[in-house]
Amino acid sequence: YSKFGQGLGPMPAITAVFLYSLLPIMRNTYLALTGVEPGIREAAKGIGMTFGQRLSDRQAIQWWVADAATRIHAARLMTYDCAWKLDTGRDVRQEISMIKAYATEMAWDVVDHAMQTFGAMGMTKELPLQQMANEARLMRIYEGPTEVHRWLVARNHLANYR
């Protein structure tokens, strides 16, 4: 038996658990990307029009696109940072809770906005958005609700100041 940090010990098992925890996070980022692309394409090509203008000319849609792109990028960077820390043998429990809380809410919001862009069509089964919304909702519960991860992050963060 070797102690943690010496030889292999339990490190491979711990790393596997943390890697498994990153899978739903990566799935949320994928959901957001695949949900946002059709909406952006529709808005930019002028397929969707309101009062004679393309959807992409509307400020609300532009803000949605900017927010979605920024949040997806942030989720990716947070995931890369966590994976790098895991590769270097650091404790990533706090980061995993942060990313789970962030990425699940991000995926839900991005898919919801994509559905909003398509209007009633976004709710039909002709587009994959309804299924993505169902999956994004399930991810908010899977491996602990978002609220639990927020509580863990707050508890651990506040402990540094006590």
Please identify every residue annotated as catalytic: 143
Distance in angstroms (rounded) separating the CA atoms of residues 162 and 69: 37
Q: Which of 35, 103, 41, 111 is nearest to 73 (CA)?
A: 103
**Residue 16: strand, helix, or coil:** helix
Interatomic CA distance for residues 29 and 107, integer angstroms:
6
Structural contact between residues 32 and 110, judged by C-beta atoms closer than 8 angstroms: yes
| SS3 (DSSP) at 104 | helix
- Distance of alpha carbon 79 from alpha carbon 32, whole angstroms: 14
CB neighbours of residue 149 within 10 Å: 20
**Which SS3 state, helix, strand or coil, does residue 126 take?**
coil
